[in-house]
Amino acid sequence: MSQVPEVVRAWVDACAEMLSPERVHWMDGSEAERTALEATAVREGVLIPLNPVTHPRCFLHRSRPDDTARTEHLTFVCSHLKEDAGPTNHWWAPDDAKARLTALFRDSMRGRTLYVVPFVLGPEDSPFRKVGVQLTDSVYVALNLRIMTRVGEVAWRAFPADGHFTRCLHGLGDQDPSRRFICHFPEEDTAWSIGSGYGGNALLPKKSVALRLASVRARDEGWLAEHMLLLAVQPPGGAVRYVAAAFPSQCGKTNLAMVTPPPALAQKGWRAWIVGDDIAWLRPGGDGRLWAINPENGFFGVAPGTSSATNPVAMATIDRDTIYTNVALAPDGTPWWEGHDRPAPEGLLDWQGRPWDGSSPAAHPNARFTVPLTNCPTLAAAARDPQGVPIDAILFGARRATTMPLVHEARDWAQGVFFGGTLASETTAAATGKVGVLRRDPMAMLPFLGYHLGDYLQHWLDVGAALSKPPRIFGVNWFRKDASGAFTWPGFGDNLRVLGWVLDRCDRRVGGVPSRFGLLPRREDLDLEGLDAPRLDAALTLIPAEAEAEAKDRTAFILELAERCPSTMRAEAERLLTDAQAPAPTAAHA
């Protein structure tokens, strides 16, 4: 590895001195290395090979039962000033955090291998790429990183001339949750994580680098690092358009990114491709539009609920080259989870490897698949474009059983930032804690923002001001229920019908019904051909009492930012509260 920059070598040497590993493995990213590391992982019992005929090059990993999701209460932003972390983050003074974690890291890799994982976020030839290096003693993490990012020699080729790289230090430690910490040092572009081997806690380029640390760099450099999918859609006879959509974890980003037109729309010529399913880096282009790249190179998707009915594209993506985590295992060596195409086979082992008796889910609700982007049959060619894709519309989506309509359009960028900045969603199994609790999750970034929320909203406004052709901003909610508790919208492929209205609005081809929450669609402006949606009117309706409560809650949330609340957000809050516009009754849509 002659090309390793000296600055990296010196940092790795210093870390190795502290960690005392038995050996250091510098990852080169080759296929031969992948095979060798997989063999090591199988030998150590970290990976179980799956059926090589039905699932070539697929493995199962079972995490510790107390390490199955992101742990937000153990995740810290360690800025020098507490107020810079803001009200949505746990803060820890950097020196104190480093002292505590250094004690845990010291000699923690005795007898183990330290993997040095150089990675690139974004296409390697993109001017917007970022280079980092993660150190880890987990072969599972090293193999996942190899899928999620561009790993190895490529990082030295893409290494910036100024020598700057993001430093990520990860160790399994003793995996005791009382000694688990995920710490971010935004002023040093550094993340340290110890005590967890799972997902976003351990695969640091994902949430720690591409979101928490990148959001701070983005603020300083005039761009946005967002928890967004990127989707290409082509309406019949039209041009390919690009949509970015922010949804909290486990609210259907992967499903929307991999959307397949339902037969009635496919026949008309609708097409859709994926650019990314979880993270987008967006920046104003020279043409006044907002351009986006996907910094990732793989999917870390939620397995339960994935089937040929809900996401046929995912099913065609994860039948090879996939690391499954915490799914159930059938006797024929195939993976299984709740919502799978097949009924639960006899002799199933649950996610902890115990014979399944049906009394609890066989797969963990946060079970995942890690698989390369290139496996996906609908990957957009533009996903590799170093300049990224131009965004026409931004969606903010959430899981809301009540209140929020199927789709609503913000009047302008400022109102869109207000809607996104006060987004709320019901919590899911992606993080530890209670599921189904409504919480405000600004821009779906609550767990991922690296600095003060008030400054972040101001930064969004500033980015908007730098765009002469900003995307239109919409809110969507696929999860609205009616008074009987039934879902009002079928979701999945039919969500393209909503995107049809969104694009029609971008082109000003249709009008809508004004409401307190912006413009709602008229029923006749949605393409409903071939759709059975008897409860649709309820999805298009704001109930006045609910809308009033929502307006008050959003206003209270934003005003809590006090002196760091941007004046434009304050004005939007006041406008929402005092807006005389009555919520549109159902009849107005008929």
Contact pick of 278, 350, 494, 527 for ligand OXD (by CB under 6 A): 278
**Interface with ligand OXD, residue 370, by CB under 6 A:** no
> Angle of helix 413-421 relative to helix 567-578, nearest 10 degrees?
90
**Interface with ligand OXD, residue 200, by CB under 6 A:** yes
The secondary structure of 217-273 as a DSSP string is HHHHHT-EEESEEEEEEE-TTS--EEEEEE--TTSSHHHHHT----HHHHHHT-EEE
**Interface with ligand OXD, residue 198, by CB under 6 A:** no
Query: Nearer Cβ to ligand OXD, position 202 or 473?
Result: 202
Binding partner at 199 among Mn ion, ligand OXD, none, C-beta below 5 to 8 Å by kind: ligand OXD
**Interface with Mn ion, residue 441, by CB under 5 A:** no
Q: Please give the Cα distance from 147 to 503 (Å, whole number).
A: 33
**Interface with ligand OXD, residue 199, by CB under 6 A:** yes
57 phi/psi in degrees, rounded to 5: 55, 35
Q: What is the 3 state secondary structure string of 147-182?
A: HHCEECHHHHHCCCCCCCCEEEEEECCCCCHHHCEE
**Interface with Mn ion, residue 310, by CB under 5 A:** no
Which token pair is 319?
């039948």
- Secondary structure class of 514 (helix, strand, coil): strand
**Interface with ligand OXD, residue 70, by CB under 6 A:** yes
Binding partner at 295 among Mn ion, ligand OXD, none, C-beta below 5 to 8 Å by kind: none
Nearest to 368 by CA among 309, 317, 421, 324: 324
Write down the least CB distance from residue 158 to ligand OXD, Å.
Answer: 24
Q: Are 58 and 323 within 8 A, CB to CB?
A: yes
Contact pick of 204, 430, 461, 561 for ligand OXD (by CB under 6 A): 430
Which token pair is 220?
């300083």
> 168 an active-site residue?
no
Write down the least CB distance from residue 202 to ligand OXD, Å.
Answer: 11
Residue with tokens 């006060």: 422
Which token pair is 388?
């990224």
Q: Name the CA radius of gyration of the chain, rounded.
A: 23
Write down the least CB distance from residue 217 to ligand OXD, Å.
Answer: 20
226 phi/psi in degrees, rounded to 5: -130, 155
Q: Are 210 and 260 within 8 A, CB to CB?
A: no
Query: Nearer Cβ to ligand OXD, position 391 or 430?
Result: 430
Contact pick of 249, 370, 422, 425 for ligand OXD (by CB under 6 A): 249
Query: Nearer Cβ to ligand OXD, position 62 or 408?
Result: 62
Binding partner at 70 among ligand OXD, Mn ion, none, C-beta below 5 to 8 Å by kind: ligand OXD
Write down the least CB distance from residue 476 to Mn ion, Å.
Answer: 17
**Interface with Mn ion, residue 278, by CB under 5 A:** yes
Q: Please give the Cα distance from 461 to 455 (Å, whole number).
A: 10
Binding partner at 189 among Mn ion, ligand OXD, none, C-beta below 5 to 8 Å by kind: none
**Interface with ligand OXD, residue 399, by CB under 6 A:** no
Q: Could you tell me how many helices (H) and strands (E) the chain has, helices first?
A: 17, 30
Binding partner at 300 among Mn ion, ligand OXD, none, C-beta below 5 to 8 Å by kind: ligand OXD
Q: Please give the Cα distance from 557 to 341 (Å, whole number).
A: 42
**Interface with ligand OXD, residue 425, by CB under 6 A:** no
Instruction: Give the total of residues touching ligand OXD (CB under 6 A).
Output: 7
Q: Which of 15, 168, 251, 565 is catalytic?
A: 251
**Interface with ligand OXD, residue 527, by CB under 6 A:** no
**Interface with Mn ion, residue 249, by CB under 5 A:** yes
Write down the least CB distance from residue 300 to ligand OXD, Å.
Answer: 5
- Give the residue numbers annotated as catalytic, written as ranges: 251
Q: Which residues bind ligand OXD (CB under 6 A)?
A: 70, 199-200, 249, 278, 300, 430
